[in-house]
Amino acid sequence: MIRVGLAGIGFMGWIHYLAYQQVPQVQLVAIASRDEKKRRGDWRGIKGNFGPEGRQVDLTGVRTYETLEQMLADPEVDLVDLCLPPALHAPSAIEALRAGKHVFCEKPIAVRLEDGRQMVQVAQETGKRLFVGHVLPFFPEFHFLWQAAQDGRYGRPLGGMFQRTISDPKWLPDFYHPDKVGGPVVDLLIHDAHFLRLLWGMPRAVFSTGRMHDPQVVEYLCSQFLYEEGTGPVAVHGGVIRQSGRDFTHGFEVHFEQATVLMQFAVIDSQPVVAMPLTVLAADGSVERPSLGEGDPVQGFVAEVTEVAQALEQNRPSPLLEGQLALDALALCHAQSESVATGREVAIASQ
């Protein structure tokens, strides 16, 4: 049994809490929150863009702490789950690792590259595991795509295009702050950077064009990731649009040697719109629409938490959640921003 201490009771903390209720290998034994009301279990003010709204929760048997430092002193906590603001990921994870705890940190690994590098280094030095919650590969459409690339059912993935766009999140005052959240590239498009890193590895360079929100933060971009001959094109476009009628959209079209796999989903006027369900276009002209189950997004987090638990139980790396993968994704984000700002192709250095 993996005993978990959860730090940060906002929207992501709430979703992680819901996931823990469905994973028998883990037990939530502690929470840390500066909000006294939340320490009493009143989570009714929590709202997000998917899943149920917060409610009153029963914290019987769960120890409550005001600070992370207090929770780190709890000898019964094996794994610390960090659902804190991005700027706090690095100092909190490093403190937890040095306190002898494994760490499961929400994405991004950090806002600044040097902080992410230090997190990976401290995990290696302490012998503790650092998992970073890039949940996208656990969502059914993306999990199907990743498995197809792994097992070779359609041959090798040749290239593809990914889209991810939101309306301006004006309710998040620090969203565009370069050191607190990092804007849409670090907070949003890092999902796609992480996923294309899984499919094709690190590119040799990236070239991006886009709009700047201010001199330091990109608002919207189109990126070409440049690989050696035989892979590509690989492209990402997305970011923030200034109209609120489309809250969210994401999708992909990935070309394999023997099939094309595509999907597009949006939330328009607060209603879900499946513009293209997951579809496989086969080389023989046939069309398949694989069954994906019920589609509850919380189940992606259940699968993610299950992977964390199994990796710890089996003392193995996670092919999807390792800190180095998350660091690589962050490096790709910063390279895209640099390319937009300078108008030049940016070489990708090893992390």
State the pLDDT at residue 47: 72
Strand partners, 210: 221
Token pair, residue 171, equals: 């309710």
**First vs last Cα of the chain: how many Å apart?**
34
State the pLDDT at residue 170: 87
d(CA 298, CA 281): 28
pTM: 0.95
Report yes or no: 159 and 231 within 8 Å, Cβ to Cβ.
Answer: yes
CA distances from 164 to 73, 237, 251, 311, 341 (A): 40, 7, 7, 29, 20
Average pLDDT along the chain, 351 residues, taken 10 residues at a time: 96 94 96 94 81 87 96 98 97 98 98 98 98 97 97 97 95 91 97 98 98 96 96 96 93 98 94 94 96 84 97 96 98 98 94 75
State the pLDDT at residue 295: 72
Q: Amino acid identity of 144?
A: F
State the pLDDT at residue 351: 75
Task: Specify the residue for token string 């690589």.
Answer: 328
194: three-class secondary structure by DSSP: helix
State the pLDDT at residue 70: 97
| Domain annotation for the chain: domains and CATH numbers | 2-134+304-317 (3.40.50.720), 136-295+328-347 (3.30.360.10)
Phi, psi (deg, nearest 5) at residue 206: -140, 145
State the pLDDT at residue 173: 83
Angle at 60 between CA 36 and CA 42, to 5 degrees: 35
d(CA 10, CA 320): 24
Q: Could you count the other beta carbons within 10 Å of the beta carbon of residue 314?
A: 9
